[in-house]
Amino acid sequence: MKLLKKVTMFGLLAGFGVSALADNPISTYHYLADPGAAADDDYFYIITDSDDPAPANSNGYKIYALYAFRSRDMQNWTDYGIIYDARKVSGINDIWASGIAVHNGTFYIVFPDGGGGGIGYIKAPAIEGPWTNAVGQGKDKLVGGRGIIGCDGVSWCFDPGIFIDDDGTTYVTWGGGESTSRPNTDNFDIVKLNDAKNAPVGNGSHVKVNNLPTRKMLEASYIHKHKGTYYFSYSTGWQQGAPTIDYGTSNNVMGPYTWKGTILGDPSMNGRSINGNNNHHGIAEFKGHSYVVYHDRRIAKGHNGLEIIPADDGQPKPNEGYHRSVSVDEMFYNADGTIQTVKVTDEGPAQIENFDPYDWYPALTSSKQKGIRSRSNFVQGKAAEHVLLPLSSKESWLRVSGVDFGTAATGFTVEAASAADNNKIEIRTGSATGTLAGTCTLKNTGNKNTYAENKCEVEGLKGIVKQLFLVFKGDRDSTMAIKAWGFEGSGTTPPEPQKPFSGKAWEIPGKIEMEDFDIPGSGRGSEIKSYSENDSEDHGIENGGKSYREDTGVDIYKKATGYVVGYNQSGEWLEYTVNVKEAGDYTMFASVATDNSTASFTLSIDDKSIAEVPVSGDSWDDFVKVKANVTLPAGEHVLRFTVTGDWFDIDYMTFAKGKDAKDPDDETIGIKGFRVLGADAVANFDVFDLTGKKVSSFTARNIHEAKKLWRENPQSRNVQGVCIIRNRYNGAVARVRTTR
């Protein structure tokens, strides 16, 4: 769902009117570890892996998935749940500590496959995905088995980091050496990626950090840049007790680096360790501040009164060493560019801007939580979906901090499923039992997978509310699933629906160019969407240069006939606002090309199916017509084209009045000097070989007949391979293959 536009009136400056502080860790309802960090102008991002699958008495790591979080204010975090799951992606094993970067609106993650067997590389248009393979060259991995290069002598080949420099050049680094057999290791690697193909420039280069003290390099390699200086940080070995996060600096991203000190020790508070047998971190600058994210054992240790979450097998008080949590604190530099050792806090960093309640938020958006659980519905090729599951018979709530309601909020909307009656959400201020601003009773949808929109009025919410609580009430636990929520009021901008590409609805009867699908709207809800694309990468760029529809990912090619939509895969769809002149029967003709017989699509009007259309062919270069009889209502409607069988190109659709009507394209081949060529008229066609030499000329009624005539012409036997046939009048071309 997209966000509502913000028009709040007060407290828009960073920190203006904000006094609340965050609580570490960022999530208290599942076990997370090995964080990485990145930031752009709008958000600070964290990715983690998860210890959730580990049983209570685990004596090792069970790590299979990556989670993602983001924050605009460093206090309220949106948890997107599982964004990539090795258990559901073919060819990938465990996923351990990973690195993240964002550049020009695209997100990149490097992850270790199998805990040390290589490094995968994926990308996405948003932190929640969908994530696709970014390696290229037909490879599954960037590094290691089935990769472009090997691990280059690094023993474990894991804990990768990714760094994108100011000029857009990308670097990937990884470790680590074995702390037992090589206790003095400096065995880290860094490789430079050269261009959009993501091919490494040569093999990796070993990273050297000079003047090391007794704490040697082990794992968690990471590169960041501050005021022109490159910082290489890493987790030290276990020889001197618990590992620390140390760093070196250089004026060259490839090093060598000189050791400078410790960024983060073993996180401990009041003399009590909250870390354990390893250490990991991520660093990013955001809105004039620098932050370090790291893991500890706060939840498993019950630190600071935290609820100890049961392990995956339901047993209480799980093994602390293998049930970690993720925290964040601000990091400061000295005047000479060295880093002050980070002070680990319960509070976390200060909130740097107020929270806007008038956006539409995924349900797990909060600064603190109690008595909740969550469920991730990961599907490869789709954006992540994460839902909140309250333990509503107990004390169960989310807290949102530093909320700027402007003049006043008037309503609250929540998208939720409920498998019981009398489930409700109370909106309160100050505490979970504080002043009641409103109550939303949820519709009983019969199960936890069917969602409905619920609205209720609120009062007393104006100006800046330091602590806002969403309190979940019900007779039984886990009978409701919350997907998203938001407030309405003085800051609300109504959602804007999708609209025709040219500003005017397509006329029927008439032609629809497939690349000119509707422009998406803004706001929330399905009514704003105009397309669905399984793969965020626009493959059409490879064949046509610049993308025709920027930021959509729809695969649009430039071919001889103009732009076509290609790479069509089952489940993808495009929508078009149409204006049907008269209700009644029509014949739909679609210009398609494919080399298989299993492709297909359906058409629907306002979500009502009107046609199922099989597609078959023998060449990607030869466009043929498929047709279907449809019945259309008069007036303006939304026509949806949905792919049901993979792999075909589609150029346009034409609707002709009447059942089994003639194809309008056959009635008019071309116009030249006021001469109209009808269905029974003929046009001149020229045939060229691939060197551009004209090898024949003849007449035909249309290009399909011209291709047939050329294949049957004895002269074609003298021309090997592919020929180009061109209509002199309208410039239409087609390829045809001949063999001797």
Active site residues: 34, 219
- Nearest 5°: phi and psi at 665? -70, -25
Residue carrying structure tokens 């009624």: 701
Q: What is the rounded distance in angstroms from the CA atom of residue 319 to the CA atom of residue 186?
A: 31
CA distance 217 to 154: 12
Residue 543, classed as helix, strand or coil, is helix
Name the nearest CA neighbour of 663 among 635, 621, 624, 718: 624
Whole-angstrom Cα distance, residue 673 to residue 241? 89
Beta bridge partners of 111: 120
Q: Is 233 helix (H, G, I), strand (E, B) or coil?
A: strand
Per-residue burial over 714-737, b if 16 or more Cβ lie within 10 Å, else e, is: eebeebeeebbbbbebeebbbebe
What is the spatial order of strands in the sheet that 733-738 belongs to?
A: 694-700, 683-688, 721-727, 733-738
Q: Please, are residues 689 and 695 in contact by the beta-carbon 8 Å criterion?
A: yes
Instruction: Write out the H or E segment, with its range, that includes residue 667.
Output: helix 664-667
Neighbours of 419 (CB within 10 A): 19
Query: What CA–CA distance (Å, rounded) separates 207 from 612?
Result: 59
Q: Helix (H, G, I), strand (E, B), or coil: what is residue 306?
A: coil
Residue type, 708: K
Look at residue 522 and give its three-state secondary structure: strand
Three-state secondary-structure class, residue 475? coil
CA distances (Å), origin 719, targets 666, 714, 735: 29, 10, 13
- Cβ-based neighbour number of residue 215 at 10 Å: 19
**Strand, coil or helix: 260:** strand
CA distances from 259 to 154, 159, 240 (A): 21, 20, 17
CA distance 65 to 675: 66
What are the distances in angstroms from CA 729 to CA 90, 412, 621, 687, 688?
51, 62, 20, 14, 16
Cα within 13 Å of Cα(496), Cβ side = 11
Residues 6+ away with beta carbon under 8 Å from 542? none
Residues 491, 405: Cα–Cα separation, whole Å = 8
Per the CB < 8 A criterion, the answer to whether 233 and 263 are in contact is yes
Q: What burial letters (b/e) apply to 559-590, b meaning 16+ CB within 10 Å? A: bebebbbbbbeeebbbbbbbebeeeeebbbbb
* Residue 455 neighbours by CB under 8 Å, 6+ apart: 411, 412, 413, 440
The single residue listed with the structure tokens 């949806």 is: 640
Residue 218 corresponds to which amino acid? Answer: L
How far, in Å, CA of 199 to CA of 197, rounded? 5
Q: Is 563 helix (H, G, I), strand (E, B) or coil?
A: strand
Helix (H) or strand (E) holding 711: helix 703-712
Q: Kindly state the tokens that stand for 39.
A: 């930031």
